[in-house]
Amino acid sequence: MLRIVLAILSTIAATGAMSAVNLSALWDFSNPAVSEHRFRDALKSAVGDDRLIIQTQIARTFMLRNDFAAARNVLQAISSDVAAAGAEAKARYWLELGRTHASHRHDPATQTPESRRIARDAFSTAIKISREAKLDGLTVDALHMFVFVDTAPADQLKWNEEALAVIAASEQPDAKRWEASISSNAGEALYDLGRHDEAMNYFRRALFLRKQSDDPRGVRDAYWHMARVLRIQGHIDDALAIQLRLERESDVAQQPRDYIYEELQLLYQAKGDASRAREYEQRAKALQH
């Protein structure tokens, strides 16, 4: 019996098994308040490390609402318990703590050397813990957050490539699900570096993966990135055809996007159609206000 138990524990460690809580089922990233309510309901019956893990996600719901102080308060309340917890709870704690100091939700103007230092230390701790525990998905998550600490495109490319290397070496679904978004991020860094042909390769990879996972919005975003490269390369008509299709599809999905309108503005400017360019400029501004 002891050998069986040890074998099970060994298998769990090798596969990077996660908590019993299905966090994905509780998350609605478009509505953090609803997500918080779901997590608080789940917290009522959770035990052990699952209680801590759920509370890290409650903290994240505050972070997504730009209430970074409230997020840190939630994390501070569990910090002493996390110190004696398992690897996943620890990794998630440090990951979310880092996010409260540097993330896509922060105004770049508010990012000080001190806030970046705290975020760097927290993300580095999350990576160390998740690597040792073979929690590949959390390792990728922490690696991809470094682009908000090291914001130069060359540094962002380095972090995305490191994350893609973890994904390629992993067999864990929680790591594999990151490949499309990390590929897109790598393409964006290459685009900013002016390496457009390389960027296009990553965007094509992201498109392929989005189609495989039946992600219509992700597919549209991948096409948008590709069309933007085509515009930069001078293939105006090809880029215009894609962006107009994306406009129609987004309207049907009731998900209009200002960045599609912005590209259409630039494309019509390139074609010398000032009237249509102004029309799309106004549409973009309307969505931004």
Residues 14-61: tens digit of each pLDDT: 444 566 789 999 999 999 999 999 999 999 999 999 999 999 999 999
DSSP conformational letter for 273: -
- Rounded CA separation 97/130 (Å): 15
Q: What is the pLDDT of residues 181-236, one digit of tens each?
A: 999 999 999 999 999 999 999 999 999 999 999 899 999 999 999 999 999 999 99
> 25-150 in CATH: which number?
1.25.40
Q: Give, in order, the Cα–Cα distances in Å from 171 to each of 73, 119, 136, 206, 215.
A: 35, 28, 9, 19, 21
Q: What are the boundaries of each domain within the chain?
A: 25-150
Q: Give, in order, the Cα–Cα distances in Å from 21 to each of 140, 149, 250.
A: 20, 30, 34
Determine the pLDDT at residue 214. Answer: 86
DSSP conformational letter for 151: -
124: which 2 tokens? 């580095």
DSSP track, 4-51:
HHHHHHHHHHHHT---SS-HHHH--TT-HHHHHHHHHHHHTT--THHH
DSSP track, 121-132:
HHHHHHHHHHHH
Is the distance from CB of 136 to CB of 162 less than 8 angstroms?
no
Mark residue 31 as left, alpha or beta (left: phi above 0; alpha: psi -120 to 50; beta: remaining): beta
Closest CA to 148 of 180, 119, 182: 119
Q: For residue 66, is pLDDT > 60?
A: yes
Q: What is the mean pLDDT of the chain?
A: 93
- pLDDT-based confidence at 281, cuts 50/70/90? very high
Q: For residue 288, is pLDDT > 50?
A: yes
Determine the pLDDT at residue 16. Answer: 46
169 φ, ψ (degrees, to nearest 5)? -85, -10
Determine the pLDDT at residue 181. Answer: 97
- Rounded CA separation 87/111 (Å): 29
Of the listed ranges 4-18, 113-127, 232-246, the least confidently predicted one is 4-18
- The pTM of this model reads 0.88
Closest CA to 120 of 108, 135, 103, 133: 103
Q: What is the pLDDT of residues 227-263, one digit of tens each?
A: 999 999 999 999 999 999 999 999 999 999 999 999 9
Angle (CA) 99 103 107, round 5°:
130
